[in-house]
Chain A
C-alpha cells in the first residue's frame, strides 16, 4: 500500500467501500481483476481473497523472503535489496532506536558492515548515499545481490546497435537491438502536476550515468517534493537528473505521473539497467562518463 486507500467490494471505485487501508498495510493478493471503468489507463485491480478488490496503481506487489545474514562484508560494501515488504532504517542497531525512514521492497541499498543488535539479532549497517550517513536495519530483511543477477543482458550485441525509444503519448519504453524490438513495457513519465509541469524532455540522450541505488530527494516533502531512499536501478540521461529507474511508491504505469523521470516497474528497470552500457560491475557505486546507450524520447 503506497497510500491510504479503500478496498472495494467490486473492481470499481463506484462500488461499495469495504475497508479503509492505511499506508503500508499488507494485504494478500490472491488474483488480478479487471476494472469496470473502460477509460482508465490502468484497469488492473488486485483481488484480496473474499474480502474485496483494491486498485493496483497504489499497491506494490511484494513478497516476504527472510534472508540469511552474510558476515563477510568487505570495506567497500555490498549491494543489497530489501526482501520484505518494508523495513525501517534505525539510528542504531536497536529496535528501540529512532527510525529515520522506511525502506521498501526491492529498493536497493549499500550494506557497509554487519553487527549484532540490541535484540540479539544480526543487523546491517546501511549507507545513505545521498547524505553519506549510516543507518541500521535487521539483516534478515535485506538480501545481498549476486553478480549473476546483474550480469549484462545481450553483451554480444555491440553497444552502438542498442537503442531505447520512449513513446510519451503511448507511455511505452521499447528497447531495440539493431532494428529489432526486444523489450516493450509500460512506463510513467513526467506529468503536469499541481505544483508545476515536469514533462519528460523529448530528444536524443544517452545513459551516461548509472547507479544501482540512489536516494532521490528534491523540494519540500510537504508540498509536492519527494524523498525516496533506495531508488533501484537508476540510469540518468540528463545532468538535470532525468533517469530511468524502478518504482516503489506507485504501481501505475501507462499514464504520466512523475517529476520528469521515466518510472518503470522495478523488474523492468533492472532488465533495462542490465541491458544498457556502461556496465556497472557489482559493488561499484556508479559508472559515469561520456558513453552510454542511445535513448530517443518522442511523442
Chain B
C-alpha cells in the first residue's frame, strides 16, 4: 500500500493498528510518539493551525479558535517556528499542533467545599478555564476567564438559596474587586502541597541558575542538580536583569499588570501562580498560562515557567509561606539566584 492511496481516515486507522512503524518510516515520520503531558490542550490564540504533520511546511488542515479544548493523543518532535529549543508538537485528532500555543490542561470537576479558614483559602482552576461572574448567580454578568492552574484567593463560600449553587468568592487585590466562580471548577490547594521541598538542605546550599542564552533554569542542592528546565525570560527591552539575586518576596497568586506603563506593551494577567520574586521591580519565577513556549525570551522581564515547575521552585526556595499567607516580603532572606 503506497502512501498516496491512504486517506487520512485510513492513516489514523493504520496508526492505531500495528502497522504504524512501517507507514511512519515510509512517510519519514518514524519518530517515537511520547505520551502527552496532559490529556487535553487549550488553544491560546485564535487560529492555532492543525497541520497534517509536525512540520512548519506541512498542510494546514484546520484552525482552532481561542480557548478551544482538544484531546492530546501524543507528543512528537518536529519543526520549530521562532524557538529552536522547542520542537515539541502535540498529536491531536486529525493532525498535529505546535506546542508553543497550546496550554496543557485537564478537566477535573471538584466537589464543593463549604468551609474555609477566616484568612481565606488558596485554590486553583482545575478545568481548562472558568468564567468569573460578577454575582453568585448564573444569570449574573460574567467578567473574564480564569485559566487552568491559575491560583486565586477564595475569601468566602457563597451558597445560593434558590439555585442551590455553591460559589467561591475570589478577591483580586489589584482591582480590589470580588468575583464569583462555580465551585465545581476550582480545587482547594491542600496544606501538604505548600510545604517546603528538601527542607533538610540548608538554604545556603540551594542555588538557582538562570542561563539567558540557553534559557535554562537549573536548581542545585550543593553540587547536585535537582531541576533543569527551559524557561522564557525577558524579551529585548525588558530583559531579565543579570546578576546575583535572592528570592526574598513570594506569593502563591499574583495579579500581574503594568497598566499605566506606556513603555512596555500592556499586560494584565490575573491569578499568576507560584511567584518567587527576586528583584524589587517585580521580576519573578512564576507559572504561565498565556503561552507554552519555553526556550526563547518572550516575557516582560520575569522568568516564565510551566505552572507545575514554578510550583516546585516556589516550594523549594525560601522563605516558605504558610497556608494563611498570600504574600511575604523578607529583604535579606531568600534562596540565591544567578542570572547570566
Binding site for B on A (CB under 8 A): 29, 32, 34-35, 41-44, 56, 61, 167, 170, 172, 178-186, 251, 253-254, 265-268, 271
Q: CA separation between A35 and B159, bound complex, in Å?
A: 13
Q: Give the Cβ gap from A43 to chain B, nearest Cβ, in Å.
A: 5
A181:B164 contact, CB within 8 angstroms:
no
Interface string of B68-106 (1 = CB under 8 A from A): 110000000000000000000000000000000000000
Residues of chain B within 8 A (CB-CB) of A179 are 65, 67-69
Q: Give the Cβ gap from B101 to chain A, nearest Cβ, in Å.
A: 16
Interface string of B102-119 (1 = CB under 8 A from A): 000000010110110000
B161:A268 contact, CB within 8 angstroms:
no
Residues of chain B within 8 A (CB-CB) of A180 are 67
B164:A44 contact, CB within 8 angstroms:
yes
Q: Does B220 contact A (CB under 8 A)?
A: no
Residues of chain B within 8 A (CB-CB) of A266 are 162
Q: CA separation between A43 and B111, bound complex, in Å?
A: 11
Residues of chain A within 8 A (CB-CB) of B164 are 42, 44, 56, 186, 251, 253, 265
A184 is contacted by which of B139, B161, B162, B182 (Cβ under 8 Å)?
A: B182
B161 is contacted by which of A32, A42, A181, A183 (Cβ under 8 Å)?
A: A32
Instruction: Contacts A44-B159, A178-B65, A265-B164 given; indicate if A271 touches B184 (C-beta within 8 A).
Output: no
Residues of chain A within 8 A (CB-CB) of B127 are 181
A271:B139 contact, CB within 8 angstroms:
yes
A170:B65 contact, CB within 8 angstroms:
no
Q: Give the Cβ gap from B124 to chain A, nearest Cβ, in Å.
A: 17
In the complex, what residue of chain A is closest to B182 when comparing beta carbons? A184
B109 is contacted by which of A29, A41, A42, A172 (Cβ under 8 Å)?
A: A172
Binding site for A on B (CB under 8 A): 65, 67-69, 109, 111-112, 114-115, 127, 130-131, 138-139, 142, 157, 159, 161-166, 182, 184-185
Interface-central residue, B68, B142, B165, by most chain A CB under 10 Å: B165
Q: Give the Cβ gap from B26 to chain A, nearest Cβ, in Å.
A: 35
A185 is contacted by which of B65, B69, B115, B138 (Cβ under 8 Å)?
A: B138
Q: Give the Cβ gap from A172 to chain B, nearest Cβ, in Å.
A: 6
B163:A34 contact, CB within 8 angstroms:
no
Q: Give the Cβ gap from A74 to chain B, nearest Cβ, in Å.
A: 29
Residues of chain B within 8 A (CB-CB) of A181 are 127, 130-131
Q: CA separation between A259 and B3, bound complex, in Å?
A: 53
Residues of chain B within 8 A (CB-CB) of A251 are 164
Q: CA separation between A170 and B139, bound complex, in Å?
A: 22
Q: Give the Cβ gap from B18 to chain A, nearest Cβ, in Å.
A: 29
Residues of chain A within 8 A (CB-CB) of B157 are 34
A182:B131 contact, CB within 8 angstroms:
yes
Query: Can you show 14 pairs from A to B with CB atoms below 8 A apart?
Result: A34-B114, A34-B115, A34-B157, A42-B164, A170-B109, A170-B184, A179-B65, A179-B67, A181-B127, A182-B142, A184-B184, A185-B138, A254-B112, A265-B164
Q: Give the Cβ gap from A275 to chain B, nearest Cβ, in Å.
A: 10
Q: CA separation between A266 and B138, bound complex, in Å?
A: 13
Q: CA separation between A222 and B159, bound complex, in Å?
A: 35
In the complex, what residue of chain B is closest to A270 when comparing beta carbons? B139
Main SS of the interface on chain A? Answer: mixed
Top 4 closest pairs, chain A to chain B, by CB: A34-B114, A32-B159, A170-B109, A184-B182
Interface-central residue, B65, B67, B163, B185, by most chain A CB under 10 Å: B163
Q: Give the Cβ gap from A197 to chain B, nearest Cβ, in Å.
A: 24
User: With contacts A35-B114, A265-B164 known, what are 10 further pairs, Cβ within 8 A?
Assistant: A41-B111, A42-B164, A43-B114, A167-B109, A182-B142, A186-B164, A186-B184, A254-B112, A267-B163, A271-B138
Residues of chain A within 8 A (CB-CB) of B68 are 179
B163 is contacted by which of A42, A43, A182, A268 (Cβ under 8 Å)?
A: A268
A185:B131 contact, CB within 8 angstroms:
no
Interface-central residue, B68, B69, B161, by most chain A CB under 10 Å: B161
In the complex, what residue of chain A is closest to B185 when comparing beta carbons? A184
Residues of chain B within 8 A (CB-CB) of A35 are 114
Residues of chain A within 8 A (CB-CB) of B138 are 183, 185, 268, 271
Q: CA separation between A267 and B68, bound complex, in Å?
A: 29
Interface-central residue, A56, A181, A265, A268, by most chain B CB under 10 Å: A181
Q: Give the Cβ gap from B102 to chain A, nearest Cβ, in Å.
A: 14
Instruction: Contacts A172-B184, A184-B184, A268-B138 given; indicate if A61 touches B69 (C-beta within 8 A).
Output: no
Residues of chain A within 8 A (CB-CB) of B130 are 181
Residues of chain A within 8 A (CB-CB) of B67 are 179-180
Q: CA separation between A200 and B20, bound complex, in Å?
A: 39
In the complex, what residue of chain A is closest to B42 when comparing beta carbons? A179
Residues of chain A within 8 A (CB-CB) of B111 are 41
Q: Give the Cβ gap from A90 to chain B, nearest Cβ, in Å.
A: 28
In the complex, what residue of chain B is closest to A183 when comparing beta carbons? B138
Interface-central residue, B67, B127, B162, B166, by most chain A CB under 10 Å: B162
Q: CA separation between A180 and B142, bound complex, in Å?
A: 13
Residues of chain A within 8 A (CB-CB) of B109 are 167, 170, 172
Q: Give the Cβ gap from B48 to chain A, nearest Cβ, in Å.
A: 12
Q: Give the Cβ gap from B51 to chain A, nearest Cβ, in Å.
A: 20
In the complex, what residue of chain B is closest to A32 when comparing beta carbons? B159
Residues of chain A within 8 A (CB-CB) of B161 are 29, 32, 61
Q: CA separation between A180 and B131, bound complex, in Å?
A: 9
Q: CA separation between A185 and B184, bound complex, in Å?
A: 9
Q: CA separation between A179 and B162, bound complex, in Å?
A: 28
A61 is contacted by which of B139, B162, B184 (Cβ under 8 Å)?
A: B162
Q: CA separation between A259 and B65, bound complex, in Å?
A: 39
Q: CA separation between A251 and B161, bound complex, in Å?
A: 10
